């Protein structure tokens, strides 16, 4: 199984059709040197308090309410290309992920989730004894 197929086994996208006012964040998924799967999601304007990350029955969900006011109160907005509102995206995660040890960090509008492999899924060397 090649690297891309392995990633699909660990983290597979679940189809989600966001509503009119809900956006699906862009994501990158890659494997770190230690075998941890890393999921990075662009959620500009989100704060740690506005994020809701959950794992339930093999589904990882990311929800956020992001508001970004770039012009302050002394201006009238004539056009805005910034995304404001609800973000939502879900992913199926396999039993190879240690769900109790998922870590999240947020910096510069990018959410990073570290999904470590479960001990049972890690490669281990089997010692041979001579009789």
Structure tokens at 32: 């770190």
- Cα distances (angstroms) measured from residue 37 to each of 10, 28, 29, 30, 82: 8, 10, 7, 6, 29
Instruction: Give pLDDT tens digits for 45-89.
Output: 889 999 999 999 889 999 998 876 556 667 777 776 666 778 999
Q: What is the DSSP letter of 72?
A: -
In a domain, 53, yes or no: yes
- Which domain does 100 fall in, by range? 3-12+20-69+79-120
Specify the pTM.
0.73
CATH code for position 36: 2.60.40.790
- Nearest 5 degrees, angle CA 44-CA 79-CA 64? 25
Q: What percent of the chain has pLDDT over 70?
A: 73
Q: What total of structural domains would you count in the chain? A: 1
Give pLDDT, residue 85: 79
């Amino acid at each position: 199984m090649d690297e891309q197929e392995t990633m699909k086994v660990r983290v597979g996208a679940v189809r989600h059709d966001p509503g009119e006012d809900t956006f699906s964040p862009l994501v990158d998924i890659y494997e770190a040197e230690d075998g941890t799967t890393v999921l990075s999601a662009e959620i500009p304007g989100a704060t740690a308090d506005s994020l809701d990350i959950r794992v339930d029955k093999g589904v990882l969900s990311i929800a956020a309410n992001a508001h970004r006011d770039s012009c302050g109160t002394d201006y009238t907005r004539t056009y805005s290309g910034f995304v404001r509102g609800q973000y939502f995206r879900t992913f199926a995660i396999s039993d190879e992920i240690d769900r109790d040890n998922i870590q999240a960090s947020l910096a510069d509008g990018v959410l990073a989730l570290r999904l470590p492999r479960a001990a049972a899924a890690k490669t281990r060397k089997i010692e041979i004894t001579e009789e």
